[in-house]
């Protein structure tokens, strides 16, 4: 099975409510999608969100990377030669991790179809079902409480609360949500780099003293502030999850070697896809450190690829794969079953996505263009 063509398009999926973090506000998913066609006629699909504030990738840069660099490098290659494909993918252009992830997942989709098996089985096959949290955006406290109660009513037992915009006011947010949802719901907090190290220690220490039972705190400080991250990890009892600080396997190795965090958040858009994410899993296994499988603001297509990796590997013990639950519509056919807090894998080969429409607000585009 050889790569015969690589084409790109765009999808538009409105969100139920605006997605708000310490870094940005988004009202719809507007992502680049890729279709790789093999010489057998089989197709593989991938997706890349333009998350410029985190990855540095924009729609324009993703399109340029795929059309002008990745496509020429990969055409004609055998899908079975995963190592060779990935070496070319990661050497033909530097950075551009979202564009690489988009193509990587489409390659792995075809790899699964080549062998007639769901991808999670080929990558490890550890479990068939996952439990995901649901993200609660940064808003006034009353609104965040309402959103949290609505999530619990939908069946979510784990909430990821966005904080980091107003310092110590975040304590009141979490206290109000904990009081509203009770003790049986797990609460994760995600500061998205919004605190300084001193703020993080002060805020998390108060949350601990008040018995708010925070399961973990994600990326409390700036991505580059590894010393600050290590200081927070050392100073508080709450487990610290490194997210934006870990893009590559080298980043993960440095974080774990220096004990700068307790947990690692793997996202395909940071690693450049499944291939490099597997390297982080291997490093985490070596250190005995558990991982979370996360996502950017992605639709069912990219989140399905992440779900396959999370289902495959035992070292991935937590999932933050709520992208489809934040969307108003599901324009795709196939893929894992996203049942509110449960993600159930099935026997469809590859990633399992069977059709990928390409839409844009105000009218449709041709499905794919070269």
Active site residues: 162, 267
Interatomic CA distance for residues 88 and 69, integer angstroms: 10
Which residues does 286 contact at the CB level (< 8 Å), separation at least 6? none
| DSSP, res 168 | T
Q: Are the CB atoms for 97 and 247 separated by under 8 Å? A: yes
* Of the candidates 293, 298, 342, the residue with the CA atom closest to the CA atom of residue 320: 293
Q: Are the CB atoms for 240 and 220 separated by under 8 Å? A: yes
The C-alpha angle 62, 67, 73, rounded to 5 degrees, equals 110
Residue at token pair 């590859």: 350
By three-state DSSP, how is residue 3 classified? Answer: strand
Written as six digits, the tokens of 29 are 């998913």
Which residues does 166 contact at the CB level (< 8 Å), separation at least 6? none
Interatomic CA distance for residues 158 and 196, integer angstroms: 26
CA dihedral 191, 193, 198, 199 (to 10 degrees): -40
Q: Are the CB atoms for 34 and 106 separated by under 8 Å? A: yes
DSSP string, 100-120: HHHHHHHHHHHHHHHTTSBHH
CA dihedral 336, 67, 41, 48 (to 10 degrees): 0
């Amino acid at each position: 099975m050889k790569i015969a063509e690589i084409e790109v398009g765009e999808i538009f999926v409105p969100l139920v409510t605006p997605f708000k973090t310490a870094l940005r506000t988004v009202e719809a998913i507007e992502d680049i999608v890729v279709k790789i066609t093999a010489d057998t006629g089989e197709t593989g699909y991938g997706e890349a969100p333009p998350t410029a504030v985190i990855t540095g990738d924009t729609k324009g840069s993703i399109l340029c990377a795929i059309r002008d660099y990745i496509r020429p490098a990969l055409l004609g290659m055998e899908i079975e030669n995963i190592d060779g494909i990935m070496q070319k993918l990661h050497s033909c252009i530097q950075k551009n991790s979202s564009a690489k992830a988009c193509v990587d997942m489409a390659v792995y989709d075809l790899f699964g179809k080549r062998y007639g098996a769901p991808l999670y089985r080929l990558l490890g096959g550890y479990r068939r079902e996952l439990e995901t949290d649901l993200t609660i955006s940064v808003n006034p406290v009353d609104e965040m409480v309402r959103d949290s109660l609505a999530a619990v009513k939908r069946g979510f037992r784990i909430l990821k609360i966005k904080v980091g915009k107003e310092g110590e006011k975040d304590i009141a947010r979490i206290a109000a949500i904990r009081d509203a949802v009770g003790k049986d719901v797990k609460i994760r907090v995600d500061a998205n780099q919004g605190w300084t190290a001193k703020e993080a220690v002060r805020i998390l220490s108060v949350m601990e003293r008040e018995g708010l039972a925070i399961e973990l705190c994600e990326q409390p400080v700036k991505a580059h502030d590894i010393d600050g991250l290590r200081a927070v990890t050392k100073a508080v009892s709450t487990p610290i999850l490194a997210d934006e600080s870990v893009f590559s396997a080298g980043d993960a190795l440095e974080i774990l070697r220096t004990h700068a965090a307790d947990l690692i958040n793997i996202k395909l858009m940071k690693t450049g896809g499944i291939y490099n994410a597997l390297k982080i899993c291997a490093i985490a296994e070596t250190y005995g450190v558990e991982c979370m499988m996360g996502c950017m603001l992605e639709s069912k297509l990219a989140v399905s690829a992440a779900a396959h990796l999370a289902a495959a590997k035992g070292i991935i013990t937590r999932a933050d794969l709520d992208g489809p639950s934040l969307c108003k519509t599901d324009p795709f056919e196939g893929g894992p079953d996203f049942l509110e807090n449960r993600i159930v894998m099935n026997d469809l080969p590859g990633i399992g996505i069977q059709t990928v429409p390409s839409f844009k607000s105000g009218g449709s585009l041709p499905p794919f263009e070269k």
